[in-house]
Each structure stands twice: as structure tokens, then as C-alpha cells.
Amino acid sequence: MNIAITSGLIILITLTIMLIAGVPIAVALGVSSIAAILPVLNPNAAVLTGAQRIFGGISVFSLLAIPFFILAGNIMNKGGIAVRLINLAKLLTGRTPGALAQTNTVANLLFGSISGSGTAAASAMGSIIGPIEREEGYDPNFSAAANIATAPTGLLIPPSNVMITFSLVSGGTSVAALFMAGYIPGFLWGLACMLVIFFMAKKRGYVMRHKFTAKEAGTIIVQAIPCLLLILIVIGGIITGIFTATEGSVVAVVYSLILSLVFYRSIKVSEIPSLLLESAQMTGIIIFLIGCSSIMSWVMAFTNIPTAVSNALLALTGNKYVILLIINILLLIVGTFMDMTPACLIFTPIFLPICNQLGVNTIHFGIFMILNLCIGTITPPVGTTLFVGVKVGGVKIESVIKYLLPFFAAIMVVLLLVTYIPAFSLWLPGLLGYV
């Protein structure tokens, strides 16, 4: 039997058994990968190679951006920035049907572009806007669905840790280019959900009763400007080459800390150690996961698994659009039971060579892959953003799913547009000279 088929089956069977048994995914990745090369290498050499690949996989300068962006997100999540952005979103959405749910969408877009976390956005926005929507007579299931459906936009709109991960596993794709490529798909997602909210809210008669005075509007804008400047400083600095993505992550930490400690005074100095500890714990999980997945990436390359998968798909059909549809379906299925980071680490080395062979740009592939996996965060059985949104909204999953279906339909349209029209991903990077 071909070594690629043998190793692939060993990885698939071992990984499935270990995940069902509840083994942490990082450990399962490492063990299944080492098991896959035992038919080729002796046990000592296999373990030694695995250890070398772990250290090699995490000894990358660009990975330093991940802990700093995580820390910046935690500071901003607890630093009162969410409230300012919600007030700005209220002002922007005006008195359109479902204005509070529209506010939730815009606030998720703004907060996501600062924190880069879907679960943080769902938690922060749902806990603040949800009670207000209840007072205004909104159905809690509708409110929760709008919050859940729009929270993942922060994973597409930079900064985004999963984009940094993709940059690493795809062979050094420009992080700045990926950041720029995520804007239009992210805003398309938000716009599609706003259209759904408009029609659902119009049918139910949800309107905002409060009208802002000129003085209130001015105060809201002034208070939100420092938050928005963070986006301009960090993303602007990265794309203009003033600093790298890693250096930009440090700038984000310093700026958000000054904003929360001095300007808003919403965080005390005594709270900083707990923020550091929480960020370190989250970073440790991600970095260990990346290290263990490096073994799998090497095993796949060593045993030619991506080539075997590519040949199988191309033998099935030579139609580029059909293959992209198959890849989308597989990624959607994967996203329902696997978190974004491990899915990105595992499936990028498999699908990227196929897409490159079909003439698909690496940046384009990265964006529609991430978009696919974002959808997985709001679908059962392991959708983290779904569970956070349901908990914060005080509703049950089985009752909110019915309200999520129209949002899923709209998001799927966006996925197809982004997949089959490369300009949605490549226009901004191309404008800035990255493509």
C-alpha cells in the first residue's frame, strides 16, 4: 500500500479515536503524527523528529504577535471600550427597523476589528445590548441570533490571530496582505446579516424609540475616537511598513493599556496580573497546538499526503469550481466539530497545494478557508461563539437555531461570493501592492 495512504489512514484513525476519548487536541495531533511515521522510521527517530519539529514550529518570530494581540484583546474587553463602541453603533444605525440588533452588528464589526475575537465580541455585546433589547420588546431568541451570527466578523477583520497562524503554516504569506484581504469579506458578512435583521425586524415592528440630540451625538463620537484610533494606528502602521505585525501587536497592548488605565480609567493596576495570567494561559494553549501541528505538517510533506489528496480530487473532477465547492463543503463539515486554529493547521497543508495547482492565490484561499471555519464557530456541536452567545442571551440552543437559519443562508451566499470572486479578497491587497 502506498506510504501516503498508510500514513493518512493512521493519522485519521488515531486522531479520531483520541478525540472521541477526550484527549486534548494538541496531544492527539502529536501522537497521531508520530504514529504515522513509525512504518518509515524507528520509534526513537520518530519521537526525536517530533520533538525537533515542535521546537522548530514555535521558533518563529511572527508568532510573538499572538500573545500580544491576545493581551490587547483582553485589556480592551475589560477596559470599557465595548460600551463606547456600542454607543457609536447606535448612532450609526439610527432608527432603522431592528436598530438595536443593527447596533449589535455594527458594534461586533467595530469591536472585532479591535479585539480579533468572536467569543469576546459575543460576550461583550450580548451582555450589554441584550438587556436593552429585552426592555424594548425584542424576542430574546432573535437578539441572541443576531449577536451570534455577527460576532465572528472579528475573526475576518484584522487583527486576527488565525490569519497569523495561516501565514505561518502556508509558508510565510504576508500577514499585512491577509489583514487587508479580510476587510471586504468581513464587512460583506456584516452587511448580509444587517439585511436579514432589517427584514425580520420590519416584520416584527422592532424600532428604536430614542433619538440622539446633537450634544449626545458629539459626546459619543468624541468618546469613541480614541478606540477607533487604535485601528488606524495598528493596521495603518502595519500596511505602511512603519512596523511589522509583531511590533504592531505590542503597540496595540501599550495603546489599549494607556487608554484603559489613564483615559477611561476602567482598569486598575491591580487587575493587570490577572489579565497577564489569562493571556498567558490562552497563549500557551495556542502555541503548544501550533508546535504539535508542526509535526503533522512535516509528516504530511514527508509522506506526500497532500499530493495523494490532490491527485484524488483532480481525478474525481478537473473542474476548478466543483473542486472549490468540495473543499468548501469539507471545511464546513470540519468546522462544525473542530476549532479554527487546529483546523487551519491541519487542512491548510492538504488543500493549499490543490488550490495553488488550480491557480487560486494563496491569500484568496486563506480568506475563504478562514471564512468557512468562522461559520463553524456558530454551528453545533462545538461552536464556541454559539455557546457563548446562547449563555449570554439567556436562551436555549434549540430555540435560537430557528432564528439563525436566515443568517446562515445569507452567510453562505457571502461564502460563495468570496470563493468564486477573488476580487473580494484580493482587491485591497492588490491596491496596496501585495498581489
- Can you read off the three cell numbers belonging to residue 32? 497521531
DSSP string, 42-70: -HHHHHHHHHHHHHHHH--GGGGHHHHHH
Q: How crowded is residue 329: how many other Cβ atoms within 10 Å of its Cβ?
A: 11
Contact between 329 and 351 under an 8 Å Cβ cutoff? The reply is no
Contact between 324 and 420 under an 8 Å Cβ cutoff? The reply is yes
What pLDDT is attached to residue 210? Answer: 64
Contact between 158 and 113 under an 8 Å Cβ cutoff? The reply is yes
Per-residue pLDDT tens over the stretch 213-271 = 788 888 888 888 887 787 788 778 877 778 877 788 888 888 888 888 888 788 888 88
> Which range marks the domain in which residue 335 is found?
3-431
Distance between CA atoms of residues 434 and 166, nearest Å: 16
- Range with the lowest mean pLDDT among 78-82, 291-295, 348-352, 399-403? 78-82
What pLDDT is attached to residue 381? Answer: 66
Per-residue pLDDT tens over the stretch 53-74 = 888 777 777 677 778 877 887 7
What pLDDT is attached to residue 182? Answer: 92
Contact between 4 and 304 under an 8 Å Cβ cutoff? The reply is yes
Q: How many domains in the chain? A: 1
Share of the chain above pLDDT 70, in %: 96
Per-residue pLDDT tens over the stretch 13-32 = 888 888 788 888 778 888 88
What pLDDT is attached to residue 168? Answer: 85
What pLDDT is attached to residue 427? Answer: 95
What pLDDT is attached to residue 1? Answer: 47
Q: How crowded is residue 304: how many other Cβ atoms within 10 Å of its Cβ?
A: 17
Over residues 122-139, mean pLDDT? 80
| pTM (two decimals) | 0.80
Q: What CA–CA distances, in Å, run from 373 to 103, 321, 382?
A: 25, 19, 12
Per-residue pLDDT tens over the stretch 170-193 = 888 888 899 999 999 999 999 999
Q: Does position 208 have pLDDT exceeding 70, yes or no?
A: no
Per-residue pLDDT tens over the stretch 289-336 = 778 877 877 777 777 777 777 778 778 887 899 999 999 998 998 887
Distance between CA atoms of residues 434 and 422, nearest Å: 14
Over residues 150-167, mean pLDDT? 86
What pLDDT is attached to residue 3? Answer: 75
- Per the prediction, the chain carries an average pLDDT of 83
Distance between CA atoms of residues 102 and 246, nearest Å: 33
- Can you read off the three cell numbers belonging to residue 421? 470572486
Q: How crowded is residue 356: how many other Cβ atoms within 10 Å of its Cβ?
A: 14
pLDDT band at 115 (very low <50, low <70, confident <90, very high): low
Q: Does position 77 have pLDDT exceeding 60, yes or no?
A: yes
Q: The dihedral of CA 386, 153, 120, 286: what is its sign? A: positive
Q: How crowded is residue 303: how many other Cβ atoms within 10 Å of its Cβ?
A: 23
| Residue 243 per-residue DSSP state | S
Cα end-to-end span (Å), the chain: 41
Question: Which among 93, 66, 201, 184 is positioned nearest to 146, based on CA atoms?
Answer: 201
